[in-house]
Structure 1
Amino acid sequence: MESNTVSASDQRLLALGYRPEFRREMSLFGVVGISFCAIGILTGMSSAFQTGLFSGGPLGLFWGWNVCSLFMFFIALGLAEICSSYPTMGGLYFWVCKMKPDLPFLGFCTGWLYTVAMMFTGTSGNLSTALYIASLVEVGTGKTLSRVKIAAIAWGMNILSGVVNTIGTKAVGRMSAFNVWWTLGGTLVLVVTLLVKTPTKNTAGFVFTDFENFTGWSSRGFVVLLGFLQAVYTLEGCETAAQVAEEAKRAEILAPAGIVASIVGSWIIGLAYMLALLFSVQSIPAIQQTSYAIPIAQLFFDAVGKRLSILCLLVVGVSQGMAAITAFTASSRLMYALARDNGVPARALFLRKNKWQAPYYGVWLSVFVGCIISCAYIGSTIAFNAILSSAAISVMLSYLQPILIRVFWPSSLRDRGPFTLGKWSWPINFASFLFTVFVCVLFILPTAHPTNAQNMNYAVVAIGGLIVCTMIAWVAWGRFHFTGIVETALGDHGEGTAEVMEEITKVDSKS
């Protein structure tokens, strides 16, 4: 039964033009777990909670979460349908190349933007882990860590992410599966702790209708919309399941299931956690004025005291570390996929795998970039935040490419997989298209008024620079080397599909 399952997945990959290069060691739980881990519902909600709290307050947080979750679910459905047809490691990048082979520029830009976005996301996650550690130290001992020490911890987390990803698929799969249980158990611990131990609980009226505005903008509607960014930031990452599609059993089924299930699970778990936070918040001004490295630490401390706030920070911090690791998993697989199609210089390096089946050059390039960017935090938190804000926009822009193709060229998805939306495909993709464009515009608007050098939203500068660099890369290098998908289904000596499958079967049996 197992050999038949693996054979069917490899046959599908061969039909798409790629020779299977990875052992299929990912189960359903591992595939769902890696998207769930990448979303990092506890971490995203905790790290960005103050964004919504100061921009709309509980009103904006509650309704923004549900509205954004619904549209992110639509996006997940659209991406899952494409993934079921093309269950390959490149994910968004490969889908764009496959559906619009006549526009290699579009595929090249999607691949590069998304790869950089995953590097930046991993870097952001590792710095956030360092900030949770700094908050733990401050809550526990009263000592405040300097930026240099926080950056040093972030370096350590970047290196740890590299080590885990170097060990390979089994390590990442097991960690992702563990993260599912950690998130479920951690959410239960956090919700129970907050609701039981908080001395003064807020009313339902406060939780569902209270409006807060610390932005300086006078428009109530615009302020609430700014709070939507917290939900979008938290829910990004469902597509990560596609990055391990070539390492999963029955990828054409499990990868789409991972994409959709991770959003549904995150929607429900995030709502429960958010309500617990809103019922427990004691003072919004105190959170705004906190000295803790992570503002959510102030909420925990005010609500449940020193000892239990340490427990809460530990639960979220561990989850944050695991989420960052999966971002580097995605970036290294993306570089492998790009190298396979002549999409990056020095392609031979990025195609190398170690004995654990890890594309280690891509892993350690991600670590190197993460360490360099972490140094920016020492000099300027504004510059660092601008770089990392561009990651969130880059992910949404990467989502936009395949969705845009499905809207304006609906016949581009020629081969349908087991998961299909049928007649609902175009309406769902159209709704996803409108929402994605709206969010990309919202991400670059100023979040404070009056706007000055200290509170300006520099994300527009960072994402603009990233897009310009990508276009320069295309003009200077890409247009001469990248023509789209390069089929590798033939063996090294020109063997046909049958010979390649026979060779793969022998390798699998030995494994």
Structure 2
Amino acid sequence: MSASPNIEHMGSRTTILSVDDMKITSVLSGQHERIIVDHDVDHDEAVILALGYKQEFKREFSLFTTFGVSFSVLGLLPSIASTLWYSLAYAGNAGITWGYLIGMVGVMGVACSMAEISSAFPTSGGLYYATAMMAPPRYRAILSWIVGWSNYFVQVTGAPSVAYGGAAMILALKQVVDDTYVYHTWHCYLLTVGLTFFAAIIASAPTKWIAWINSCSTILNLIFLFVSWIVILGGNSRQDQGLPKFNSNKIAWGLDNLTDWPDGICILMSFMAVIWTMSGFDSPFHLAEECSNAQVATPRAIVLTASVGGILGFVFQLAMAYTIVDVDAAVTDSLSQPYISFLIQVLDRPSALCLASFAIILAFTMTFSCMIAASRVLFSYSRDNCFPLSRYWATVNKTTLTPVNAVWMNWFIGCLLCLLMFGGVAIDAIFSVGAIGSFISFTIPTLLRITYARSFFKPGPWNLGKFTYLSGSLAVSFTTLMIPVLCFPQYRGANNSPSSMNWTVLVYWGSLFLAIAWYYIYAHKIYSGPRSNLDKGSVIKDGEEDDVIQTIVSKGGKIKYGASEVTDEDQVPIEKA
């Protein structure tokens, strides 16, 4: 092609990037192509251009603010409160003590492997893009399709599941303070929709505002968690009930199998709580295009979120294990909220209401943080035509410079998902979908990294070195074990019923089946994996480079080749940096 017509519109500063010299595997790699940009390019923009995408967001997230978003998505206090059904209600105190610790070992393996991949592919597409780059060419499209949709299921169910948990806690408190109140499902539905509506407004804000809000919510998360921990340990009322101040080690670490499965399976099933609680650690991956020094800050934020969240979560739950009065009563209480029931057991009424309010406030901050991450996923996947009407969801709002359309589309889908609460226990599937969907999307690229792609994978500046295959093997083994376990119901045989079954099998696997069917029926005609959205005139071949340079120089322009500026008034050959 001739690049001259495009050069006419360039300013006096032009940057020429060599994709193959960037040491990045991308949709443009191996094609001997150069990218021409009419302005100075820093390292972050050079990386995203080499990956095949325009720089469309402002990079106003730092390591701390990126960690802030992911820690808010983690939402330890509301996450623990919402998922006690899968830890305390399955395995008793063992589910929140040593069972949690074992689960965290596997989660850390997954987080470290993901962090390494994020350093090599710092794009909002995250695991989906990485899968396409590491998969055999024949299976690139279908594997990235499966990973993309699985990860999207995780993201789109995140906000409604958190908001649902928050709404349920609000209504549980209403029952505590008002004996005349009668719970109705539609109350919970409308409250959930209202919470997600206001969360969507915040998620539509400019990046700078979002970064500031999430920094504040991170500080709030830490303060509320610490205060709750102190009050539970120091201010519990166990002695007023004629009990010792704390449970014995035997009770605090004891296993109470409340399922119909053997003890080993019971503990594995309780891992659903830690997996769902920790699932937010992948959020920095989806914010990579808004983060400065993304190849380093993104993986650091992932590991920091997983490690800090894991430690704080364990310490907080340890306090619960040593103070809870009656596990069975907390699980079977008419409030249907084990965390609220636990607080009422161990604290006076004002303290219980205060700590429950902390969890509710943080559930709201967690809701809009989940929406932020989900919108980036929908936006990035839509750039590659993964979804119906993709052109609308791949649009960046000109005022806020954020994907507002994607935010509100996810909100609408979340409202539809929340209708599952009218099906009784079926609403629990949005929690387990978050767990199993994340594991499917994490496992495939990690497996490719340590098998097929091991010979050509180009690690980023943050990598595991010789520990890559140890971490990857641990991650893949853990996720492969847990994927079927996450589909197990609490009860089996005659004790199982439609009202107590695990609806994950239908909600997740049914949805994934439809997505795969759509791919083979039609989508394979328009989707072949990630694709560059760079303007055609900005990408040239090796043989066209000299003509382009001479055109720019003849007009008195200055050229940067990669990161080094070269002024060539005398048409001296330009050297690579």
- The equivalences for 1:132-147 within 5 A come to 132-142=169-179, 143-147=181-185
Contact 1:126 1:321 in 2 (8 A): yes
Offset at residue 65 of structure 1 (A): 1.1
- The equivalences for 1:345-360 within 5 A come to 345-354=388-397, 355-360=399-404
Comparing 184-193 with 322-331, which one deviates more in the overlay? 322-331
Q: Deviations over 1:43-77 (max 9, x none)?
A: 22111124222322223421111111121111111
| Map of 2:520 onto structure 1 | 475
| Map of 1:35 onto structure 2 | 70
Contact 1:75 1:432 in 2 (8 A): yes
**CA–CA separation in structure 1 for the residues paired with 2:41 and 2:312:** 33
Contact 2:97 2:321 in 1 (8 A): no
Structure 2 counterpart of 1:164, from 187, 202, 205: 202
- The equivalences for 1:383-422 within 5 A come to 383-411=426-454, 414-422=457-465
**CA–CA separation in structure 2 for the residues paired with 1:430 and 1:268:** 23
Q: Structure 1 residues 413, 273: CA separation in 2 closer, same or farther (over 3 Å shift)?
A: farther
- The equivalences for 1:434-453 within 5 A come to 434-449=477-492, 450-453=495-498
**CA–CA separation in structure 2 for the residues paired with 1:212 and 1:495:** 63
Contact 1:165 1:171 in 2 (8 A): no
Matched, 1:14 2:49: yes
| Map of 1:375 onto structure 2 | 419
| Map of 1:508 onto structure 2 | none
Q: Deviations over 1:190-225 (max 9, x none)?
A: 1111111212233342354322122233x2222222
CA RMSD of aligned residues (A): 2.3
Matched, 1:329 2:366: no
| Map of 2:340 onto structure 1 | 297
Matched, 1:256 2:289: no
Q: Structure 1 residues 17, 101: CA separation in 2 closer, same or farther (over 3 Å shift)?
A: farther
| Map of 2:507 onto structure 1 | 462
| Map of 1:45 onto structure 2 | 80
Aligned length: 496
Structure 1 counterpart of 2:257, from 213, 222, 225: 213
| Map of 2:99 onto structure 1 | 64
Q: Deviations over 1:328-368 (max 9, x none)?
A: 22221112111212222322211222211121221111110
Offset at residue 144 of structure 1 (A): 4.0
Q: Deviations over 1:214-246 (max 9, x none)?
A: 2233x2222222222222221112111111110
Contact 1:87 1:255 in 2 (8 A): yes
Contact 2:149 2:512 in 1 (8 A): no
**CA–CA separation in structure 2 for the residues paired with 1:191 and 1:300:** 11
**CA–CA separation in structure 2 for the residues paired with 1:482 and 1:190:** 49
Following TM superposition, where does structure 1 have runs of at least 4 consecutive aligned residues deviating by more than 4 angstroms? 495-499
| Map of 2:315 onto structure 1 | 272
**CA–CA separation in structure 1 for the residues paired with 2:394 and 2:294:** 21
**CA–CA separation in structure 2 for the residues paired with 1:187 and 1:175:** 18
Contact 2:395 2:403 in 1 (8 A): yes
**CA–CA separation in structure 1 for the residues paired with 2:251 and 2:225:** 19
**CA–CA separation in structure 1 for the residues paired with 2:409 and 2:435:** 20
Q: Deviations over 1:257-309 (max 9, x none)?
A: 11000011111110111011112211122212212242210110111122111
**CA–CA separation in structure 2 for the residues paired with 1:317 and 1:477:** 43
The one-letter code sitting in structure 1 at the alignment partner of 2:52 is G
Comparing 55-64 with 67-76, which one deviates more in the overlay? 55-64
Q: Structure 1 residues 413, 84: CA separation in 2 closer, same or farther (over 3 Å shift)?
A: farther
Q: Structure 1 residues 396, 6: CA separation in 2 closer, same or farther (over 3 Å shift)?
A: farther
The one-letter code sitting in structure 2 at the alignment partner of 1:445 is F
Describe the SS at the equivalent of 2:499: coil
Comparing 125-134 with 343-352, which one deviates more in the overlay? 343-352
Q: Deviations over 1:436-484 (max 9, x none)?
A: 0111111012222432222222211222201211112211232001112
Offset at residue 33 of structure 1 (A): 1.3
Offset at residue 122 of structure 1 (A): 1.4
**CA–CA separation in structure 1 for the residues paired with 2:190 and 2:300:** 38
Describe the SS at the equivalent of 1:380: helix
| Map of 2:290 onto structure 1 | 247
**CA–CA separation in structure 2 for the residues paired with 1:357 and 1:229:** 36
| Map of 2:224 onto structure 1 | 186
Give me the TM-score of the superposition, normalised by structure 2.
0.82
**CA–CA separation in structure 2 for the residues paired with 1:412 and 1:239:** 25
| Map of 1:115 onto structure 2 | 152
Comparing 367-376 with 80-89, which one deviates more in the overlay? 367-376
Q: Structure 1 residues 225, 344: CA separation in 2 closer, same or farther (over 3 Å shift)?
A: closer
Contact 2:385 2:391 in 1 (8 A): no
Q: Deviations over 1:18-59 (max 9, x none)?
A: 111111111111111111111221122111124222322223
Q: Structure 1 residues 327, 6: CA separation in 2 closer, same or farther (over 3 Å shift)?
A: farther
Q: Structure 1 residues 208, 292: CA separation in 2 closer, same or farther (over 3 Å shift)?
A: closer
Offset at residue 170 of structure 1 (A): 2.3
**CA–CA separation in structure 2 for the residues paired with 1:336 and 1:403:** 23
**CA–CA separation in structure 1 for the residues paired with 2:226 and 2:149:** 38
Describe the SS at the equivalent of 1:482: coil
**CA–CA separation in structure 1 for the residues paired with 2:214 and 2:40:** 22
Comparing 94-103 with 431-440, which one deviates more in the overlay? 94-103
In terms of fraction of residues, the more helix-rich structure is 1
Contact 1:287 1:296 in 2 (8 A): yes
**CA–CA separation in structure 2 for the residues paired with 1:140 and 1:319:** 21
Q: Structure 1 residues 104, 495: CA separation in 2 closer, same or farther (over 3 Å shift)?
A: closer
Structure 2 counterpart of 1:366, from 410, 416, 426: 410
Q: Which runs of 5+ in 2 are unaligned?
A: 1-38, 239-244, 553-558, 564-577
**CA–CA separation in structure 2 for the residues paired with 1:283 and 1:266:** 27
**CA–CA separation in structure 2 for the residues paired with 1:153 and 1:268:** 32
**CA–CA separation in structure 1 for the residues paired with 2:223 and 2:331:** 29
Give me the TM-score of the superposition, normalised by structure 1.
0.92
Describe the SS at the equivalent of 2:84: helix
